[in-house]
Amino acid sequence: MAEAFLKVILDKLRWLIMEGLGVILCIDEEMRKLCSTLTSLQAALKDADIENSSFRDRVQNLRVPAYKIDDILDECSTHASELKHTGSKLSRYSPQNMLYRHKIGGG
């Protein structure tokens, strides 16, 4: 189950990276690091002993952050769609993008 959810998150993240949203929002490096970390986690889950109770507990503890990441990526997808539909080539320093970066950063 965790592997499948990670695949969904990674697919969204990779799509956003390919669309260049990270560059526009000045978060490309962070997105790439997150993608690398999640890919490593996915590989570890494939090799892990799911029957081990302490491991299951650790995986359960990842649920909340994983859902938050998924929510943030959904917001980024929405933002990317809005940029495409408006035909806007907003600068990374535009007020809208700066406010959006602040919002997704939790600030």
Chain segment 63-95, per-residue pLDDT in tens: 888 888 888 888 888 877 776 666 555 555 565
Predicted TM-score (pTM) of the model is 0.63
3-state secondary structure of 1: coil
Q: Would the CA dihedral through 17, 18, 22, 23 be positive or negative? A: positive
Q: What would the two tokens of residue 60 be?
A: 């359960």
**How many structural domains does the chain have?**
1
Residue 107 reports pLDDT greater than 70: no
Give the Cα separation of 96 and 77 in Å (integer): 15
Residue 25: domain span: 2-104
Residue 48 DSSP label: S
Residue 20 DSSP label: T
Nearest Cα neighbor of 66 from 18, 106, 6 is: 6
